[in-house]
Structure 1
Amino acid sequence: MKKSIFGFFLIGILSTSNVSAQETFKVMFYNLLNYPLEDAVPNREDDLELTLSDYQPDLFLVCELNNITGANNVLNICRTAINSNFEMATYVSNTSDDFAGNQNDLQNLLYYDSTKFILEEEIIVPTALRDFNIYRLKLNTTDQDTNPIEFYVVVCHLKASSGTLNAQRRFDMVVALENYLDTLPADTNVLLGGDLNIYTASEPAFQELLDNTNNITFADPANRVGSWNNNPNFVDVFTQSTRTQNGFGGSTGGFDDRFDFILTSENMINTTNITYVANSYQVYGNNSLFSCYNSAINSSDCGIAGSQFSFTVRDALHNFSDHLPVTLSLEIDATLLSVNDVSVLANFSIEKTITDYELIVYVNSIKLKNNYLIIYNSTGQKVKTLPISSDYKQQFDVSDLSNGLYFLAIPNQNIKPLKFIIYN
């Protein structure tokens, strides 16, 4: 009978739901154009805030950050424009060296909604020019302990400019990335966002990314592989340049290139626990108009009556950067923890999971204070009730409990209990 009781107990308190739900996440990659040192356009933070407010990404991947001040500014904009739960990965200046000397002022970074993602690892893959910054993320699902959904995010910025030498340098950079990816399991989920500066799909760097003999093979979710440069047949995936006039910084060539990408590992197209949402790939601000070829993105050539992206949006994009952001959506078949649950979990912990006579609990949530804790034994029986005070650090006498495994639960809270062992 005890086994049955314990089975129901585990179902009741060790999981918050036994029904999966589909969750969708929005991803954006954006070249920030030498932010914040490029100051030809005043107050361009307002333009970035408008873009983020409109699209509302859950993951925001960026390149061309100059310094920690800019990184923190972008974080604050994310918290204002999207939600206050946004966090950023560790800002680290570029560790790679240019052949002509150090070029440490163009850095990649990841911003993420901390209620949905847990940042588990940060990796730097150096090259001869700029780092690949790689982040291992876990979805903050209700069953993350027993059925974790993890994936890697690569943020990059390959060598710019045309010519055989620059194409070779882009290829060498991608080889360095592939050498790292060869160390991961072949079924790893990988998302890559970057300014690849590639003019055609036949370029060796792009072919290396798509090589199906690699441990991790990438796919183009847009399914628009071809020769993009100055080819208006690919205007729907053009990302650069948003400008035709001088004085704003960056390129002024008009809309004629596909430099910015989000690629996924092939398994993320339709076969893994985190997948690309079909037809969700889009260049944000690009209305896919043939007339926009070689024009400024805020011109009348790039928007007509009924177009998805208004003049207001396109003007903000024009003012902020010479690139457009690239976006797509991902989907999982699982249930996320609620915002309240995530907040509670972050502010409720045990000092030691193996203790003797004293249990020390840290409570840093107004929601939990003046509530109470319940200790259950390994068969699911309630053995002790503990009142929670208003103190952050709280000490409880558990000397009356025998050696064994116990669970510390909070009534009326949709979170998993904490496990601890008494051993003396």
Structure 2
Amino acid sequence: MKQWGLLLLFCFGYQLVTAQVTTVRVMTYNILNYRNSTNECNGNTNSASSKEVALDTIVRNMQPHIICFQEVGASANNATYLLNNALNTSSATNWTTTNYTNNSFSSLTNVIAYRSDIFGLISQDVITKDVGNNNLVRVVDVARFYYKDPLLNAQSDTVIFTVLSAHFKAGSGTSNSSQRNAMAGAIIDYIENDAVDANIMLMGDFNMYASSESGYQTLIAGNGFRFEDPINSSGSWNNNSSFAAIHTQSTRNGGSNSCFSGGGLDDRFDQILCSEDIIEGEDGMVYVPNTYFAVGNDGNHFNDPLNAGTNYSVSSTVLSALYSLSDHLPVIADFDIDLQGLNTAELEVPVLENPMRQPAQLADYYLRYGLTIYTLDGRKVFEKPEGEPATVQGLPTGLYIAHWSKDGRSTTTKLMLW
């Protein structure tokens, strides 16, 4: 388990401060072939402009700070449409997205949107292959964020966390479940070998029918890293009224529009899973109990459409927007983040001048440390493996993010270069 998800600003000092807390909200939402045309889903049955109006209503009412979208048509322009037509509307101006990613064959992608006034993007990655080097059915997006703590000063910390957005293979049967398990295995392999944060969230459309499915077990019951379900609701979710309150698909029950799946609410496809560190609050970020919801599910619409009879879980305006936008419901959860409340007394980081003057030789004492330097927008510009000397030189003057590593531990800091 990675234990060092902190961003130390401007110098390598030690400080013990009093904790304050702020609450942030994340959302995952499959928005059903958004700007992706198929025989069933086209401009007549799945209007992009109508979806954007509905999404604007949902976001303004639910007020998430990070959204992982699935089923966005495979074009970089579609993230811009989401921003301009659904997120940065009215008085909202601070939404942005991570960079567009995709493989060479999928017609659907993920989009991770976030409030840039609240979070900063450290880096972005993408998982495209399973552990056998075979193409995944769709890419898994990975984004590292830091919280823009308003109380930051020269010797304080802020929380860093990693978000993964995934859309697993749909359908019943061995072949489909095997492909879901392959994606789950790729996610766990990435976390165990490439992730550096303790605070990790996996959000998306899992398309899994029960927690006993092999892919879900790979996610939650491995021998190494494992995710945890914030609401601890394992079981056979499909068509099971015992889980009526957490079902996320479908918002409809048949009808003439074949773009939308029918059957009413009877599957828990859409989920948010968290690392153990988030559940236990070990690294400055903790899940807030009783804040995990399938938006619009009042628990009384098992096998029924969302708008059958009465549903007072959200306003009538939001209910209508949920029904018209997708056959999935969004899932939200809240997390408390410590403000200047992290004890850094146990951190051991190299002692060096900060700002650092170039050329700067990293040998002798620094030989045992690994160092990777990124620009503030996440571009890697320097790398020194542990045990090897190197010289930092030729980089433009400015502020950078430095990731130090040593003996399996790591910490992320800000570094000024001259």
Indicate whether the TM-score tops 0.5: yes
- 2:297 alignment counterpart: 286
| Amino acid in structure 1 at the alignment position of 2:289 | A
1:277, CA displacement in angstroms? 0.6
How many angstroms apart in 1 are the aligned matches of 2:70 and 2:146?
22
C-alpha contact 2:101 2:126 (8 A) present in aligned 1: no
Report the Cα distance in structure 2 between the residues aligned to 1:251 and 1:82, rounded to whole angstroms.
34
Aligned pairs for 1:224-263 within 5 A: 224-244=233-253, 245-247=255-257, 249-263=259-273
Which residue pairs with 1:317 in the alignment? 322
5 Å-filtered alignment, 1:78-227, equals 78-80=87-89, 83-95=92-104, 102=105, 104-126=106-128, 127-141=135-149, 142-143=152-153, 146-184=156-194, 188-213=198-223, 215-227=224-236
Going from structure 1 to structure 2, the CA distance change for 1:314 and 1:144 (only over 3 Å counts) comes to farther
Residues paired across the two proteins, number? 318
- Cα distance in 1 for partners of 2:33, 2:326 equals 9
Q: SS in structure 2 opposite 1:80?
A: coil
Q: 1:46-82 CA distances to partner (integer Å, 9 max, x unpaired)?
A: 1111100100101111111102232111112212267
Counterparts of 2:90 and 2:208 in 1: how far apart (Å)? Answer: 31
Where do 4+ consecutive residues of structure 1 move more than 6 Å?
418-421
1:123-181 residue CA offsets vs partner (Å, 9 max, x unmatched)? 11114311111111111121587424211100000000011111111111111111111
Residue 10 of structure 2 is matched in structure 1 by none
Secondary structure of 2:138's aligned partner:
coil
For the 8 Å contact 1:94–1:106, the answer to whether it is kept is: no
Counterpart position of 2:398: none
> Residues of 2 paired with 1:84 and 1:115: CA distance?
9
State the SS of the aligned residue for 1:254: coil
Which consecutive unaligned segments of at least 5 residues does structure 1 have? 1-13, 96-101, 337-351, 356-417
Residue 18 of structure 1 deviates from its aligned partner by: 6.2
- How many Å apart are 1:313 and its aligned residue? 1.5
The answer on whether the counterparts of 2:281 and 2:287 sit within 8 Å (CA) in structure 1 is: no
Structure 1 pair 316–72 and aligned structure 2 pair: CA distance change class (3 A): same
Answer yes or no: is the 8 Å Cα contact 1:298–1:311 preserved in 2. Answer: no
In structure 2, the partner of 1:275 is 286
Query: In 2 relative to 1, CA 41–196 (structure 1 residues): closer, same or farther, beyond 3 Å?
Result: same
Pairing partner for 1:330 from 335, 345, 348: 335
**Contact 1:190-1:265 at 8 Å conserved across structures:** yes
Q: What's the secondary structure of 1:177's corresponding residue?
A: helix
Shift of 1:246: 2.9
Q: CA deviation at 1:262?
A: 0.5
Q: Compute the displacement of 1:84 (Å).
A: 1.0
Which deviations, in whole Å up to 9, do the C-alpha atoms of 1:73-127 show, x marking residues without a partner?
11122122673111110012335xxxxxx2x221011111112111111111114
State the AA in 1 paired with 2:145.
L
User: Deviation per CA, 1:290-309, whole angstroms, max 9, x where unpaired?
Assistant: xx1111112215x1xxx322
Q: Do 1:53 and 1:82's aligned partners in 2 also have CA atoms closer than 8 Å? A: no
Secondary structure in 2 aligned to 1:33?
strand
**Residues 46, 185 of structure 1: alpha-carbon distance in 2 compared, 3 angstrom cutoff:** closer
CA offset digits 1:176-212 (Å, max 9, x no partner): 1111111146862110101000001100000110014
CA contact (8 A) 1:86 1:113 kept: yes
Is the alpha carbon distance of 1:419 and 1:294 closer, same or farther for their aligned partners in structure 2, counting shifts above 3 Å?
A: closer
Contact 1:30 1:324 in 2 (8 A): yes
AA matched with 2:112: L
Against the structure 1 CA distance between its residues 144 and 334, is the aligned structure 2 distance closer, same or farther, given a 3 Å change threshold? farther
Deviation of residue 311 (structure 1)?
2.9
Letter in 1 for 2:80: N
Query: CA offsets per residue over residues 343-373 of structure 1, 9 Å max, x none?
Result: xxxxxxxxx9869xxxxxxxxxxxxxxxxxx
Alpha-carbon distance, 1:316 to partner: 0.9
- What residue in structure 1 maps to residue 28 of structure 2? 29
Aligned-pair CA distance for 1:21? 2.1
Match of 2:58 in 1: 51
Q: Distance in 1 between matches of 2:273 and 2:96?
A: 23
Q: Within the alignment, does 1:63 sit opposite 2:82 as a pair?
A: no
